[in-house]
Structure 1
Amino acid sequence: MKVYDGVFNDKPSFHDGKWGKSTVELSQAIEQSANEKRTVHPKYQVPISE
């Protein structure tokens, strides 16, 4: 459990602010795409570094 280890065992986690921002952006793009019936291209997606 990477998130658990990051919080309770002081180990690094790949879930950072950039990851959070890209997750929110993707959720908003899905909703916008459905409402507008068009493709929406996210701008802030980041790769997962392990």
Structure 2
Amino acid sequence: MTHNYKKLKVWQLAMEIAVDVYQLSLLFPKDEQFGMVSQIKRCSLSIPSNIAEG
């Protein structure tokens, strides 16, 4: 039995949030790009990744 996580509404919403976070991260000062912004980006991608893992 295969499960397609991409069909899950929760995964789709998590991906939308991740895209929004990446776009908003462009507004942060350049000196934050390797600190807080990097952590925020990783966190936003961990949500859909964890959903996909099950």
TM-score interval, smaller chain: 0.5 to 0.7
Superposition RMSD in Å: 2.6
Output the TM-score relative to the length of structure 2. Answer: 0.50
**Structure 1 segments unaligned to the other structure (5+ residues):** 1-10
More helix by share: 2
Aligned length: 39
| Moved >6 Å (runs of 4+) | none
Q: Percent identity?
A: 5
Aligned 1:1-50 pairs, distance under 5 A: 12-15=3-6, 16-37=8-29, 38=32, 39=37, 41=40, 42=44, 45-46=47-48, 47=50, 48-49=52-53
Structure 2 residue runs of 5 or longer lacking an equivalent are none
- Relative contact order higher in (CA < 8 Å, ≥ 6 apart): 2
TM superposition score normalised by structure 1: 0.53
